[in-house]
Structures are given as C-alpha cells and as structure tokens.
Amino acid sequence: MRSYTFFAIVLLCFAILLIDALAFYWLKSIMEPIESSTIKNTIYIAFWFFTIGLIISILVLKIRLESISPYRKQLLISSLYGLTVSSFIPKLIFVVVISILYFSNFLITGEKSLLIIPLVGVFFGFLPFFVIVYAVFRAVYRFKVHKVVIKSDLLPSSFSGLRIVQISDLHLGSFNYRYHILDRAITTINQLNPDFIFFTGDLVNNYAWELNGWEKVLGQLSAKMGKYSVLGNHDYGDYSKWESEEERKSNFEDIKDFHSKIGFKLLLNEAECIESEGEKIAIVGVENWGNPPFKQYGDLQKALRKVNGIDYKILLSHDPSHWRGEVLDKTNIALTLSGHTHGMQAGINIKNREWSPIKYKYKHWAGLYDLGPQFLYVSRGLGWMGFPGRLGMRPEITFIELDNEG
C-alpha cells in the first residue's frame, strides 16, 4: 500500500463505498419479503459495519504505515488486500448481474422477476465469494508440478535426459514462518530426482529477517549436480525505506548470504561451465533486469564473457521481459528460465488453454515459449505476494527434461 499515493487510496475507498451502496440498494429489495424488522436491521447493520470498518482500516493503515513495524505491516497489508478483494469483487458482480436482469425486461417479466432476479443476483454474488475463499484458504498452497520436455539439437548428447527443477518467487515473508507449508513442496521436488535445481528470484518480499528459520527447510532440497539461483526485484530492498544506506546494504548482503546457507550458488552476472564426458553446457545467471519502473541490475554481456564458446547455455533471469530485451535474436542462449509474473495469481483454464489479465502487461507470462532454437520458460511462482490466494493459477514446481534431437 505504501507505493500508492494517499489520493489513490482515497479513490479506492470511494469505489468500495459506491459499490457497497449499490449492493445495499439491491439488498434492501431482496429483503423486502422478510417481515421481521429485527432480522433485516441486523443484516443491514452487519453490512455497513463491515464496509465502514474496512474503509477506516485501509485509511488508518495508509496514514500510520511508516510507524508500523515491517513484520506487522506485511501481515496487515495482505489481510486487508484479501478482505478487500473478497468483498469488492463479489459485490461488483452482484450489482452488475442484478442490474442487467432488472433492466432487461425482455428477458424476465411479470411476477416471476420478483423471485428470479434476486435469486440469480445472490447466486452470482456468492459464487465468486466462495471461489475467492477457496483461492485464499486452499488453492494458494496446492502445489502443482508442470512437466516439460525441451528438445534441442544444440544440447550435447551426454546431457540428453538432464532433469531440471525450477522454482521461483518464494516470497518467504508471506508464509509468516509457517515452515510446514513447504514440506510437501520440498518432498515433491526431491522425489523428482533432479540433476539441477534452479531458483529464479524473489526469495523475500523485502527484508532479510523474513528468512529466519527457513534454512532448515530449504536446505533439504537435493540435486545431483548442483543448485543455482539468481536475485529478483524484491531481493534488493528497493521497496522499503531505510534509515541509512548502510542498513539497506546490510539487508541485501544477508539475503545474498542466505543462498549459500541452503546450498545454492548465487549467480551475480556470472556463469559456470558444467562438463560431462568431455562435453560442456553453461549455466548463466544475471541480476534482475526488467523494463521500467523495474531496475536493470543485470549485465548479460559480463555474465557471458567466459562461456561464449559453449553452444548450449541456460540463462537464469528473473524477469521474462529480459528475453525479448537482450536475449532473443541477440545471443545464442538456448534456454532462459524466468518467473516474476506469478501468472498474476489469477487466471482461467479451459481445455488446456490458459488466460490471465497479466498477459496484457507481459507478452510472455507463464509456461513455455520458443522462437527458432531459443526457448523461454516462465514459472507461475511457488509463493504469493499481495493477494493471499491463487485463482486458477496454482503455485508451480517446474520439471524440465532436456532432450537432444540429434
């Protein structure tokens, strides 16, 4: 919330109030058949108590944001975010549906409309509410394995069959130290028996203290040939105010040091050569590189300097925008692994076709993309940020098997 101006927060509160006023108008119409004034008044009071309470809470949090401890701030923002979405979206749908039905006299006429319109309106109001509740309390931790086979004749034959697990966007601060939640994900990853585990950034939301205790959990991840990682935009502490530059740097150093504590090699604009039976591939990792307003810490040319002669290169780069910006048609990097988008944590799956509003911001936002011999895979992320749920966009563990076509 701190990234939004006070004026923007006021506009949000006005939108909530407007939708709730319209919802209340239709609610009164639905409640007319109830004769008991006590029941009706109780429902009306509860309705406005929640609305006014939510608006006051949002405004107070915005005003007092700087005086709240970072730990409480994250909890409060996520909680209010969830309450706002679970309240606003169902009421908006309820108002739109019931208004359309009411003013479409050619669809429903006569006395039937007195019963059908309220019932349909309530159904379309409660359905998204229950969907959102499911997203918050169930789907957000229903980890899904996405299995992908990537074929390339650039891959040395000795590396054919290489097994890679990619995870991304853990945002450990959002888990609120509930270490057990990731136990099933860790077990699933290890059972995939990967040769490599790649982590593509956003370990935290902002702060190094979010990592406390997680080394025991993430340290259990096992890969036969190695574990590598890069930084994401949230790992730099750029979204927080610091008392001094030294404090920000200390926070950043602690986050970088954590990678080694869990057995990951953090690649900071650098590459490593992997050899098998005299053949080589390269694992390249860059710091975060994104389109404005995201900063561009990444230096791809520096990272490639020592491995330009290797034909098959795997690039770890947090933001998928980097693929079109500096990789595609500008290098011979065969495979790029990214995250960042979370798939917006919301989408629709119909007959294996996936859609999310995030596609209007990112051309490459989830899954596998290719152009000629170059591939990009964008993870939907394992954790969450902001909205504490996932709608049709389950947290992802990516399992990639490389195959030599030749």
**Per-residue pLDDT tens digits for 141-185:** 999 999 999 999 999 999 999 999 999 999 999 999 999 999 999
Q: Is the pLDDT of residue 203 over 70?
A: yes
Q: Where are the domains of the chain?
A: 6-137, 143-403
Phi and psi torsions of 404, nearest 5°: -90, 120
Query: What integer is the mean pLDDT of 188-201?
Result: 98
Report how far residue 293's alpha carbon sits from residue 57's, in angstroms, rounded to the nearest whole number.
29
Identify the pLDDT of residue 2.
Answer: 44
Q: Is the pLDDT of residue 296 over 70?
A: yes
**High-pLDDT (> 90) share of the chain, %:** 67
Q: What is the 3-state secondary structure (H, E, C) of 205-257?
A: CCCHHHHCCCHHHHCCCCCCCEEEEECCHHHHCCCCCCCCHHHHHHHHHHHHH
What is the overall mean pLDDT for the chain?
90
Q: Side by side, which strands form the sheet with 196-200?
A: 144-151, 396-403, 163-167, 196-200, 226-230, 265-266
How many CB atoms are located within 10 Å of the residue 379 CB? 29
Q: What is the pLDDT of residues 315-372, one digit of tens each?
A: 999 999 999 999 999 999 999 999 999 999 999 988 778 999 999 999 999 999 999 9
Q: Is the pLDDT of residue 126 over 80?
A: no
Q: Is the pLDDT of residue 384 over 90?
A: yes
The pLDDT confidence band at residue 111, using thresholds 50, 70 and 90, is low
Tell the CATH superfamily of the 143-403 domain. Answer: Metallo-dependent phosphatases (3.60.21.10)
Identify the pLDDT of residue 104.
Answer: 67
Query: What integer is the mean pLDDT of 205-223?
Result: 97
Report how far residue 266's alpha carbon sits from residue 42's, in angstroms, rounded to the nearest whole number.
57
> Is the backbone peptide bond immediately before 395 cis, with ω within 30 degrees of 0?
no
Identify the pLDDT of residue 196.
Answer: 98
**High-pLDDT (> 70) share of the chain, %:** 94
The pLDDT confidence band at residue 99, using thresholds 50, 70 and 90, is confident
Contacts of 175 (CB under 8 A, 6+ apart): 181, 182, 383
